[in-house]
A = this chain, B = another copy of it.
């Protein structure tokens, strides 16, 4: 049959995949076609709206380069990235039987578009603010597994924006790495480093996704957070953030990434000597957080 009625078109596309070699690809694409057609039928999308959609997606693709990923930003702001994270963590939890006395693992959140591979590995306690504007903050805690055993030599990647909310990746083609590093846990699973207390900031809103957010009547802001990624032999990789409890937008993260268990009260301290011996002549903060990793399957 050459001709299909509108309501039969999705099935016609799916039927055309009868010989798809990879069953999972066939499954994913079949569901995609089914839902995409259901969307178009539900809103009775007009040709003009369709063309606006084509132009929007084209602009999103053409905004991407080595340092900017507008499609990830689109996925983030539509809550899709966070949904994928939530599904993945639920899948991991369902695949194993926790010991009766075990603690829940640290929750994951979005990777975001600002991870930059190859940050320098620094000694525990180093200050990655390197004089950048912002309020000093001391991050410290332990990395254990869900049974409470310390995870030694775990690689802890950390990254954040500066006091104005800008990441190094946003500062032009030649801008060097800033406010990012890798640390290692010690034999007892302990980590510590200095950086700044993270501030809220807008996701990049000068491109098509920013225009979409304005059309949606939404603000583009994320509450202040420190990105972390933990990789350790014998454990599942954890990508998450630590959120500042006092930050504006903590209840309306533009990428829906906040989880209650990741919100930390940053302790405020008068000028003086910090527990690691550093002497500060201005107010400083501390962020205490223990991570729990899931053993690898």
Contacts and interface: CB of A to CB of B under 8 A. Distances in A.
A31 interface: yes
Contacts of A252: 16
B9 A256 contact: yes
Contacts of A26: 216-217
A10 B6 CA distance: 26
A16 B58 contact: no
Contacts of A54: 69, 71-72, 75
How many copies of this chain does the complex contain? 2
A57 interface: yes
Given A44-B91, A58-B69, A91-B44, A79 B37 contact: yes
A36 B6 contact: no
In this complex, the interface size class of chain A, counting residues with CB under 8 Å from chain B, is 35 or more
Interface stretch (A17-25, A142-150, A160-168, A274-282): A17-25
26 contacts: A1-B251, A2-B250, A3-B258, A4-B79, A6-B87, A9-B83, A16-B252, A17-B216, A18-B217, A20-B215, A28-B45, A29-B212, A29-B216, A32-B39, A35-B36, A37-B79, A40-B80, A40-B84, A45-B84, A47-B85, A47-B88, A50-B80, A57-B57, A58-B61, A60-B61, A61-B61
Interface of A: 1-6, 9-10, 12-13, 16-22, 25-29, 31-47, 49-50, 54, 57-62, 64, 69, 71-72, 75, 78-88, 90-91, 212, 215-218, 250-253, 256, 258-260, 263
Given A21-B217, A26-B216, 7 more contacts: A10-B83, A16-B216, A18-B217, A25-B215, A27-B43, A29-B216, A61-B62
